[in-house]
Amino acid sequence: DTDYNGTPDQWHDYKPDGTRPLIRLDTSGNGRADEWRHFQDDRLSMVKRDQNADGTVDEIVHYDPKGNMTQVLRDFDAPDQPRTRLLYEAGQLVRGEFDTNRDAKTDQWHIYDAKGNLLRAMYDQNRDGRQDQWEYFKPGQAKPYRVERDTSGNGKADAIWEQPGPKR
């Protein structure tokens, strides 16, 4: 009972050898576990969360042995089908993969710099499984400075828009 209200909000599971593979938490105060912290060799390896109290996992966060996030999976349409996958290296976000149309296939990819700024976004607009639009961003800018589009289906940009430079 970490908030001292008289109701348990944390449960620790132990193996016979004394290792703790799992901590279950009630973070919403409804009396049911909504966060599961998994441990391997006494180190946090994965956290699962039910963020909307519907009884199903909405987010899974994976950690490396140093405690850095390696992957975040969100918005599950089915148990093994996240609509959002965020990939990390040394704890820094480097790539995002998204299924925006709920067909269980990635149709949007994001590449980030070391500070987490979006640098490039790629899209599969026609649902053929291949990228056909590319957007390029300056660090910290919300709008792209360049957009390339493959309108012929050959995998190469044939329509290009670039933000005009300053007028002289």
pLDDT greater than 70 at residue 167:
no
Name the average pLDDT for the chain. 91
* % of the chain beyond a pLDDT of 90: 69
pLDDT greater than 80 at residue 168:
no
Which one, of 127, 65, 119, lies nearest residue 90 by Cα?
A: 65
Query: Is 157 strand, coil or helix?
Result: coil
Supply the pLDDT for residue 21.
92
pLDDT greater than 80 at residue 24:
yes
Q: Output the pTM of the full model.
A: 0.84
Cα torsion 24, 27, 29, 32 to 10°: value is -30
Supply the pLDDT for residue 20.
87
